[in-house]
Chains A and B, each alone.
Chain A
Amino acid sequence: MSDPRAELEAAPWSGPTRRYDLIKEGVVALLILTIIVTALSTLFGSPDDKQITFKQWAVAAPADFFATSVQELAGTSGTAGYGAPYNTASVGVNLGPIHLAKIMGVTHPIDTVNDFVITPLTTVANAAPVADALKQWQGSDAKTQSTWATNYDTALSKANQDPTKVPAGDFGPVPQLAAGLLTMAQAGSLDGALLSQGNYFQSDYTKQTLFLGDGGYFSDQSTASNLQGSTWGMMNETGRYPGQAWLWLYSFWYQIPPFNNSNSHPFGANADAWIMVIMGALSLGLICMPLIPGVRSLPYKIKIHRLVWKDYYQEQNL
């Protein structure tokens, strides 16, 4: 490097020095911080709002659970229509012409009909109407199944999710299946069936998390805890605790147009992808900041460093 200032700044310091005990500084810092953190932990503890179970959902909001089960059968739920990486039902969000999710493919296949409803139902001994309904469903072809489920799903939403107000129609065994799943969930056995998925060891909760999210109950709970992304929820914690405040910039983009409007094309509708790209670029910018003209000159123009080195500047008459 030919820049003489950089040479001098890189060379070992030959000016005045002072005594400085690095190890003592570190040990004292650790001790003080341990005391502060212990005090805060004793006084305030930490957040731990109980997990939501399918049992809780089905007991607290049976109509919502019932309608969601029907949507899973009809293929109208959020998960059923998601696209990659769960299925091929939609192309998913895009970055202009690029559909990255679709390119990466279906890596975590989810078949909402069987994974969420039919298979769990087969793991328990069902009452006669449900057992008959299962038999009827399993004995029919996919097209008939889909017609039944779609008919009932449409009728149910017209009846404001109230099964008692649905007029008679060509629904096949769909109402009985959804009712059977509701009974199973209220008894608590759906949690186990979704968790184990026929296995002994299982540590992937993708399926139950997506099912839970398809309903309205889960989202309502998070609204009540101020966790919705549209209201800075990404930075919040349950209860009165600080959350991931360091995500403020990531969260920020979701609050402003066009990203806060999921109906605006092309950016709002694909906000997730564009914000990922923006944050990726900004992170790269932070890492390479000393190389970026303009930004790297700011500390020379706004002389906050004179405060840091106040004594030195005074001594040296700078």
Chain B
Amino acid sequence: MSADIEKEMWTSKLRKSWQKNLPVEKLLPDTQPSYVASWIYLFGVATLAALALIIASGLVLSFEGASWYHFSRVGHFVNSLHFWAVQFFFIFMVVHLWGKFWMAAWRGRRLLTWITGALAFVGSIATAFTGYLIQSNFDSQWISYEAKDGFNSVGIGSRFNVTNFGQMILLHVAFLPVIIGVITIIHVLLVRAKGVVPPIDAFNKELGERK
């Protein structure tokens, strides 16, 4: 009787698929396959750590306002944290990307993991770019002046105006980080749900025996 009711419900469908694909044992496991033993696996986590630092320092900067770091020593220090964390974020992400490429880590129905990762990469470049535009110093004056031509040339400039400080600061601190955050969460949950991809030749024997 209760099974009949459940059958119809979206809520129970979501719960069941969640339980099936990502039970908490998969989300927070005690073990990993023995092949997960290389420094290259550290770069996904390192990218996450850098993202956490970026968000934390960025929140402090937001609370103090856009011009704080130009006149406060503490402000300049927090800006420096934000700046260096971004540099590391990109270094880690690029090494991670190349690592996953050479491991062909999209195998075994992990295409969406790759796609969300690549979207995070492209989205991060856009986010960092808007960050450079809102520095409110000489660099941001010049970057906005130069970059407008690129966006105008394909009509994007009519809606996304890099010389509009108000628009850029709102996108940088509200819209874009939320997008990056959501994509990253999906990315990491997908990795946990699918498990770490096995080595390329892991099943040679099995497949040989079958033939």
Using CB atoms and an 8 Å cutoff, list the residues of chain A in contact with chain B.
Answer: 1, 4-6, 8-13, 15-23, 25-26, 29-30, 33-34, 36-38, 40-42, 44-52, 84-85, 92-93, 95, 100-101, 103-105, 107-108, 203-206, 209-210, 212-213, 218, 221-222, 225, 227, 229, 233-234, 237-238, 241-242, 244-247, 270, 272-273, 275-277, 283, 286-291, 296, 298-300, 302, 304-305, 308-313, 315-316, 318
Contact = CB atoms under 8 A, between A and B. Distances in A.
A290 B97 CA distance: 13
Nearest to A283: B122
Interface range for B: 35 or more
Interface in B37-72: 37-38, 40, 42, 45-46, 48-50, 52-53, 69-70
Nearest to B169: A203
Given A29-B45, A206-B163, A305-B104, A287 B28 contact: no
Contacts of A227: 139, 142, 146
Interface stretch (B7-15, B125-133, B172-180): B125-133
B146 A229 contact: yes
Contact of B138 (A50, A246, A300): A50
A244 B94 CA distance: 13
Given A41-B77, A93-B153, A15 B33 contact: yes
A48 B76 contact: yes
Interface of B: 28-38, 40, 42, 45-46, 48-50, 52-53, 69-70, 76-77, 79-85, 87-88, 90, 94, 99, 101-104, 106-111, 114-115, 118-119, 121-122, 125, 128-129, 132, 135-142, 144-146, 148-159, 161, 163-167, 169, 194-204, 206-207, 210
- By secondary structure, the B interface counts as helix
Nearest to B200: A305
Given A49-B139, A51-B137, A229-B146, A84 B84 contact: no
A13 B33 contact: yes
Contacts of B109: 1, 6, 9-10
A10 to B, nearest CB: 4
Contacts of B87: 242
B153 A272 contact: yes
Given A20-B32, A227-B142, A238-B139, A276 B153 contact: yes
Contact of A100 (B83, B99, B155): B155
